[in-house]
Amino acid sequence: MSRWQHWHKRIVDVFTFPEGMDEARYRHLKRNIGVLMAMVSIVPLCLMALINFHIYRANLDRELEVPMRGLVSKTKHSFELYIRERLSAVSFIASAYSWDDLSSETTLTRIFHIAKQEFDGLVDFGLIDAEGRQVAYVGPYKLRDKNYAEQPWFQETRIRGSYISDVFMGYRNVPHIAIAVEGHTSTGRIWVLRATINTDRFDELIASMDLDADSDAFLVSSKGLLQTRSRLFGEPLTRLPVDISSPVYQANAFHMDAPDGRHYFATSSALLNPDFILVVMRPVMDIASSWYTLRSDLLMVLVGGALLIALVAFKLTDILVQRVMDSDRSREAAFREIEHTHKLSSIGRLAAGVAHEINNPLAIINEKAGLMRDLLAREADSPLHGRFAAQLEGILGSVARCRTITHRLLGFARRMDVSIEQLDVNEILHDVLGFLEKEVVKRSVDLRMDLAEDAPLIASDRGQLQQVFLNIIGNAFEAIADGGSITIASRTVEDGVSIAVRDNGCGMSADTLSHIFEPFFTTKKGTGTGLGLSITYGIVRKLGGRIDVQSAEGEGTTFTVHLPWGREEAV
């Protein structure tokens, strides 16, 4: 099965519900359509929000990174310039003066004081011979004749020609760095001129960055030892508890968590000489407050939009499924009505056949009974003469009654064949009521007839009028309780005949009254099809008449049918 066929099957399954269920299948359909509509709407919204989230986050990082990169680069150059100036000064002194000049403490003292005036931060000067012994010293400490031959910095100075140390305490017990430069004479004599510089200027350069109280900036060596005081990590020479990425000379931005539990946006850059790394840290919460505000707003919009989409999707689904449900019920009602119509049609044809077949033996019975009556009239009077005459009259009366019933059946059986003839409306009403005599007696209905004696004949179809009156009078019987009242009245009006059927039943509300002629509208839940009055309205309109209805809840209903003199089909 291909991927397309797989997804097609999944979509078909969404709209397929189990057979043999009623309300459950509509709930199943409503849930599936609602979920599908919500997913189709919410998934793109979430994707769009996620994409916007990452785009804005990347842009924000760039906006935060650019000023911090500039600040770190500027301060790094200040550090490098400060140290380079001191290194150049020491190198100039080592090359400008001879061993004899520098080994004289008077001359070295004069040189030191001149250099200290020009370059702040100098603590002392020391001249060290090739064997590592300090032969001359100017400064606040007693370090003359101290031997540095085994010190790594002395060996490195002899190899590289110059050396800048990390921050250390040493004999002075204060943070400082040492700058050593190798000097030599034309005769091959080699010595090392060493200067000590305090780190107060380092703190001043960091303070000049003008950082807020929650931020931090410090120098750290490549070995992870602090070279300056850090607000977050402690005093100089404290080992940094976090791993700073490998030093690069371009500013490098990254995120890190500090011991105070806050998340920081950090920028670092390595100095060319010495091997230091300058690190600046700012709390992400402070510098990205706009980002967190936007993220909260974006989340609220996303959640609100998703809820709104879900609400609209399920509401529209509910309306859609309700209409599908109503359509299915209307279709089922139509099928039942069609089935009922076919059944009635079959019954009508059967009744017509039965009535026709019964008429033949009834005619024979009528003839035989008439012959017997004639023969009895010729015979002389006898004690049984009166009894026989009474029985014959009963037979002939029953035959006449049966003929009337079969004629009515034949009349209803022929109602589908339109046949226009001159009709007496009162007679049709009596025919229809003949079918309801038993129900009138059984339910003790107070049936009142107020028929116009001089009602003229009208040109119309007998079968269709019978169906119209049977539907209206039948509805009146259903609307009343046992012992209720029904009044049927006919009147001659200017343009034809008016027939009113009034009952004292439950009546109808204004809303129900506005829908009674709509197909499939019924108040008889579970039993009615909603087609009776709709068909009745169509027949009356087809015969050129109209129907008026007046009703009030609890007061009863009056149906008035207006029929013209002649059949005029409505356009």
Does residue 278 sit in helix, strand or coil? strand
- pLDDT band of 520, cuts 50, 70, 90: low
The identity of residue 72, as a single letter, is V
Nearest Cα to Cα of residue 218 among 196, 195, 197, 242: 242
- 431-450 pLDDT, tens digit per residue, is 888 778 888 888 888 888 88
Residue 407 lies in a domain: no
Please give the helix or strand (H or E) that residue 336 lies within, else none: helix 289-378
Q: Which of 224, 258, 287 is the last residue of a domain?
A: 287
- Contact, 214 vs 283, CB < 8 A? yes
What phi and psi values does residue 225 have, to the nearest 5 degrees? -100, 135
- Contact, 112 vs 123, CB < 8 A? no
Contacts of 442 (CB under 8 A, 6+ apart): none
* Omega within 30 of 0 (cis) for the link into 274: yes
Nearest Cα to Cα of residue 503 among 436, 431, 448: 448
As for how many domains the chain has, the answer is 2
What phi and psi values does residue 20 have, to the nearest 5 degrees? 75, 15
CA-CA distance, 444 to 295, in Å (whole number)?
79
The mean pLDDT value for 521-530 works out to 62
Most confident of 168-177, 225-234, 369-378: 225-234
CA-CA distance, 469 to 427, in Å (whole number)?
12
Residue 297 lies in a domain: no
The mean pLDDT value for 328-334 works out to 75
CATH number, domain at 26?
3.30.450.20
Neighbours of 140 (CB within 10 A): 9
423 and 283 belong to one structural domain: no
The mean pLDDT value for 364-392 works out to 74
CATH number, domain at 515?
3.30.565.10
In the chain, what's the furthest Cα-to-Cα distance? 193
**For residue 400, with 0-12 CB atoms within 10 Å meaning exposed, 13-18 middle and 19 or more buried, which class applies?**
exposed
Does residue 187 sit in helix, strand or coil? coil
Contacts of 95 (CB under 8 A, 6+ apart): 183
Q: Extract the tokens encoding 155.
A: 């060996």
CA-CA distance, 293 to 389, in Å (whole number)?
113
CA-CA distance, 123 to 139, in Å (whole number)?
6
Cα-based distances in Å from 314 to 22, 138, 310: 20, 89, 6
Please give the helix or strand (H or E) that residue 21 lies within, else none: none
CA-CA distance, 161 to 155, in Å (whole number)?
10
The identity of residue 313, as a single letter, is A
Question: Which residues lie across from 458 on neighbouring strands?
Answer: 423
Residue 363 lies in a domain: no
- pLDDT band of 16, cuts 50, 70, 90: very low
- 102-129 pLDDT, tens digit per residue, is 999 899 999 999 998 888 888 899 999 9
Residue with the bigger pLDDT between 197 and 38: it is: 197
Contacts of 115 (CB under 8 A, 6+ apart): 89, 93, 122, 125
- Contact, 346 vs 394, CB < 8 A? no
The mean pLDDT value for 173-179 works out to 86
CA-CA distance, 455 to 429, in Å (whole number)?
12
- 209-267 pLDDT, tens digit per residue, is 888 888 999 999 888 899 999 999 989 989 988 877 655 678 888 888 888 888 888 88
Q: Extract the tokens encoding 496.
A: 């034809």
Query: What is the predicted pLDDT for the residue at 17?
Result: 43
Q: Extract the tokens encoding 371.
A: 């012959």
Residue 15 lies in a domain: no
% the chain with pLDDT above 90: 17
The mean pLDDT value for 322-328 works out to 80
CA-CA distance, 280 to 287, in Å (whole number)?
13
**For residue 527, with 0-12 CB atoms within 10 Å meaning exposed, 13-18 middle and 19 or more buried, which class applies?**
exposed
Q: Which of 110-124, 153-167, 263-277, 300-314 has the lowest mean pLDDT?
A: 300-314
Question: Positive or negative, the Cα torsion across 55, 57, 63, 69?
Answer: negative
Nearest Cα to Cα of residue 509 among 543, 473, 474, 553: 553
pLDDT at 355 over 80: no
Residue 143 lies in a domain: yes
Residue 51 lies in a domain: yes
pLDDT at 348 over 70: no
pLDDT at 32 over 70: yes
User: Average pLDDT, whole number, for the chain?
Assistant: 80
Residue with the bigger pLDDT between 91 and 42: it is: 91
- Contact, 136 vs 223, CB < 8 A? no
The mean pLDDT value for 123-137 works out to 92
Query: What is the predicted pLDDT for the residue at 501?
Result: 93
CA-CA distance, 441 to 191, in Å (whole number)?
144
% the chain with pLDDT above 70: 83
- pLDDT band of 290, cuts 50, 70, 90: low
Query: What is the predicted pLDDT for the residue at 531?
Result: 63
The mean pLDDT value for 72-76 works out to 91
Residue 10 lies in a domain: no
Q: Which of 287, 310, 330 is the last residue of a domain?
A: 287
DSSP state of 121: T
Question: Which residues lie across from 560 on neighbouring strands?
Answer: 500, 548
Nearest Cα to Cα of residue 72 among 202, 261, 267: 267
Does residue 564 sit in helix, strand or coil? strand
Q: What is the domain range of residue 496? A: 419-571
Strands (E), 202-293: 216-221, 252-257, 263-270, 276-283
Query: What is the predicted pLDDT for the residue at 246?
Result: 58
pLDDT at 293 over 80: no
Q: Kindly report whether the global pTM for this prediction surpasses the value 0.75.
A: no
pLDDT at 136 over 90: yes
Residue 347 lies in a domain: no
- 58-69 pLDDT, tens digit per residue, is 777 777 778 888
Query: What is the predicted pLDDT for the residue at 90?
Result: 92
Q: Which long-range contacts (CB under 8 A, 24 or more apart) does 361-369 make?
A: 362/399, 362/402, 362/403, 362/406, 365/395, 365/399, 366/396, 366/399, 366/403, 369/395, 369/396, 369/399
What phi and psi values does residue 181 have, to the nearest 5 degrees? -130, 135
Q: Which of 222, 253, 287 is the last residue of a domain?
A: 287
DSSP state of 167: P
Nearest Cα to Cα of residue 365 among 394, 393, 396, 391: 396
Please give the helix or strand (H or E) that residue 112 lies within, else none: helix 105-118
DSSP state of 197: E
Nearest Cα to Cα of residue 201 among 302, 108, 75, 285: 75
